[in-house]
Amino acid sequence: MKNSLVTSTLSILAMSLSSAAFAAKPTSHFEDYAQVKKVTPIYETVERRAPHRECWVETVRTERPRHRHNSATGTLVGGVIGGAIGHAVGHGKSNKKIGAVVGSLIGMSIGNDISRQGRHNNNRSHHEVSYNDVERCETSYRYETEEKLSGYRVSYRYHGQTYVTRMRNHPGDRIRLAVKIKPVGAY
Annotate 94-155 with DSSP letters as a single string: HHHHHHHHHHHHHHHHHHHHHHHHHHHHTTGGGEEEEEEEEEEEEEEEEEEEEEEEEEEEEE
User: What 3-state class would DSSP assign to 48?
Assistant: strand
Write down the pLDDT at residue 104.
73
For the chain, what is the largest distance between any 2 Cα atoms, rounded to a whole number of angstroms? Answer: 169
Block means of pLDDT (10 residues each) for the chain, 187 residues, are 49 46 60 95 92 92 73 73 72 71 76 70 66 92 92 95 95 92 79
What is the Cβ-side half-sphere exposure of residue 110, based on CA atoms within 13 angstroms? Answer: 13
